[in-house]
Amino acid sequence: MRITRVFPSLQVLSFIIFICYIGSLASSFMMAPLLEFLLALSLFFAYTLKLNEKFKGLYWPLSDFLRCVTAAIIYFAISIAAVSRYDDGASKAGGVFGFIATIVYAIDFYITFNELVTFLKQGSPDSPEERKSEDEDSNSESD
């Protein structure tokens, strides 16, 4: 299962970046890694408890995909700002770890995108194509 391999590394990176920003002059950036850490932790537990199998109404691969995309963009932006604006070592370390997190999130984005495409190709039971074929079957039986 891909989730158990990727999520812990993302959680660790987010927590390290959070700690770096707490001890730096760029403490205004600490909220983004904290929220990303909590979001990754909650999705990790959701997948671990198999909530994705219990709640079929939510497109889990899509939510994971959007999390990866937004996290990569946010980490890239705050890393550039932290490295270019602040001179203390903790800000620079947070920025470097932020660039590493951007790369890891981009890899996770690619993997999740492939899973999302596979998920969408399978189709959901509420897809219009399946409804249309069911309607055609019911019409042909009634004739």
Give pLDDT, residue 80: 93
At residue 76, does pLDDT exceed 90?
Answer: yes
Q: State the pTM of this model.
A: 0.72
Segment 91-120 mean pLDDT? 87
Transcribe the chain into DSSP letters: -HHHHHHHHHHHHHHHHHHHHHTSS-GGGTHHHHHHHHHHHHHHHHHHTTHHHH-TTS-HHHHHHHHHHHHHHHHHHHHHHHHHH--SHHHHHHHHHHHHHHHHHHHHHHHHHHHHHHHHHH--TT-HHHHHHHHHHHHHHH-
Instruction: Supply the range of the domain harboring residue 97.
Output: 2-142
pLDDT at residue 127 is higher than 60:
no
pLDDT of 28 reads: 82
> Model confidence over 29-72: pLDDT tens digits?
888 888 888 888 888 888 888 887 888 777 777 888 888 899 89
- Structural domain total, the chain: 1
The pLDDT value given to residue 139? 56
**Would the pLDDT of 140 be above 80?**
no
pLDDT at 58: 75
* pLDDT surpassing 50 at residue 95: yes
